[in-house]
Structure 1
Amino acid sequence: MSPAARTTRARTYDPLRTRAALAGQVEALRGAVHELCALPDAEELLAAPTRLGEWRVRDLIAHLAIVIDWVPKYLGDPVPDGEPLALTDWVGLTRTAAPTIAAGVREHAEAEFTGTPEELARTFDRPVDALLRTLAEDHAPLLRIAMRFGPMLLSDYLVTRVVETVVHADDLAAALPTRYPVPDAFPHDRQALAATTRLLADALAARAPGGSVELRIPPFAVVQCVAGPRHTRGTPPNVVETAPLPWIRLATGRRTWSEALDVAELTAGGERSDLSSLLPVMG
């Protein structure tokens, strides 16, 4: 059993690797948006539905611009007093913010993303370029930033931007089957995919602490969760295993437990291994 499966200590993320992962992921998104906007049927594709309620692809791209632009836009703002929010707490709080986020996205899309596909691509470049400039700067290790749920360490908040860009890049791929016949073909930054997988696994373990079930997401994460008898050696009696992108879809409500079982993206063995009641962990 991996040491990661035994510990309850909060996982940390190397700031330099986080910055590199975020830079790689936003560049992959930039490339995808530019390729999309250069297609002859770009207008039709931008109007295509997504799996996010009423959002169209154009709305999704507008939301990604908000996600990417938050750090360069608000880094210099006053930060409220209080203990910085932990990463796993941020994951849980996202489930309460969906209505506010949806309203903001529609407003942003109508204000800045209603032009031609070529104009949309140029508009998307602006937050990407601003974030890349910010990532290249030196920042104090304990620098904090204000975000919708309170203060957060900048180093941790950059991890949340990694998660958002990975999750929504997968949404984009799912909405464009002609561009991505296999959604897993989107060129995610590998370290960004790893950080997202680990944080969402840790959020599940924080939501259901315990040691009776081992969740394996090779090659990136192993955690133990769910109250009950703790396993200490040999093969655990309750094991759940899946791959990174299927796990991310489960953890964010993009796919249900039964759907993942039906398409063989998930294996679960043992009487306590059904985690469906604990999912999603992120809205």
Structure 2
Amino acid sequence: MDTDADLTTASTALRTQWDALRTWAHDVGDPALAAAPSVLDGWTVAALWAHVGRAMEALTACTPAPAGVVPLTLGEYLATYAAGAADTAEAARRLAAEHVSDPVGAVERSATAALAHLGTLGPGDPVVQARRGPVRLSTMTLTRVVELVVHADDLLRSGRRARGTSAGVPDPVDPRALAVVADALLTVVQARGGWDLEVADARTWVRIAAGRIPYDVDVLADALHARYTSDAVPDLGRLLPLL
């Protein structure tokens, strides 16, 4: 595995997805939208946006890991999310309150610091100590792309629901970053079951894998296809959601 190439791909996707989100926030953000409930139960749009900044700060918090430490895989790292969900939600609400005077600027500063710190953690693809455990830098960067893509889609759906229309609420999900995340989440599933699948509808697959829409085998069959026509898409209900 060429982990340096993996890091380059993830880093590029992270930057392009952040650029898309930043532009969206400047174009769409306003106090009325910030106060609206998001598509995540118990979260306002402001809290969801604040969480984007905290997700980027997790990269800034990374430090070099001691030699010989065994890193978590992407699937293992994502599996730690569920246990901390309540704390994550509370932190997002607290940050939203703290950032009320400049929510976009606060998250921009967090993202800028994270991207700058990313460049200091090389050379190569070292194991770093993250908040949730040791991971390779490429894996940690990829988890940030997952966060930004999933939450960009959350913000899109939240904004359109709050305004009752898609007009004036552009899509902040970068297509290239979405493809990277869809493939990565499929790789996690394939590693657990050995199936030979491919992504047919990246947006739907990411929503299913992230638990954003109810699991349904027919919807899954639209999102994923078996690589060979003689095979079928398996029932993945026991493996999903991944985060």
TM-score (norm 2): 0.82
User: 2-side partners of 1:152 and 1:121: how far apart?
Assistant: 29
- 8 Å contact from structure 1 (residues 249, 255) kept in 2: yes
Change (3 A) 1:86 1:259: closer
Q: Which has the higher helix share?
A: 2
- Measure, in 2, the Cα distance between the counterparts of 1:137 and 1:197: 28
Unaligned runs of 5+ in 1: 1-8, 218-241
Identity of aligned residues (%): 27
CA distance in 1 between counterparts of 2:212 and 2:184 reads 17
2:40 counterpart of 1:52: yes
Contact 1:17–1:191 at 8 Å: present in 2 too?
Answer: no
In 1, the alpha carbon distance for the partners of 2:115 and 2:3 equals: 25
Gaps of at least 5 residues in structure 2 are none
In the alignment, which residue of structure 1 is the partner of 2:138?
155
Shift of residue 34 of structure 1? 1.2
Q: CA deviation at 1:68?
A: 1.4
Could you tell me which of 125, 135, 156 is aligned with 2:108? Answer: 125
More deviation, 171-180/151-160: 171-180
Q: Deviations over 1:99-150 (max 9, x none)?
A: 221222222223x2222xxx22222221122233234557222433222321
2:135 is aligned with 1:145: no
C-alpha distance in structure 2 between counterparts of 1:153 and 1:70, whole Å:
14
Q: Which has the higher contact order (CA 8 A, sep 6+)?
A: 2
Matches within 5 A, 1:57-206: 57-72=45-60, 74-76=61-63, 82-110=69-97, 112-115=98-101, 119-137=102-120, 139-177=122-160, 178=163, 181=166, 186-206=171-191
Q: Is the 8 A contact 1:173 1:179 kept in 2?
A: no
From the superposition, tell whether residues 206 and 97 of structure 1 become closer, same or farther in structure 2 (CA, over 3 Å). Answer: farther
Distance in 2 of aligned mates of 1:80 and 1:107: 36
CA RMSD of aligned residues (A): 3.3
Aligned length, in residue pairs: 237
Deviation of 1:251 after TM superposition, in Å, equals: 0.5
1:218-251 CA distances to partner (integer Å, 9 max, x unpaired)?
xxxxxxxxxxxxxxxxxxxxxxxx4000000010
Q: 2:7 aligns with which of 12, 15, 24?
A: 15
Q: Which amino acid aligns with 1:161?
A: R
Task: Answer with 1 or 2: which has the greater Rg.
Answer: 1
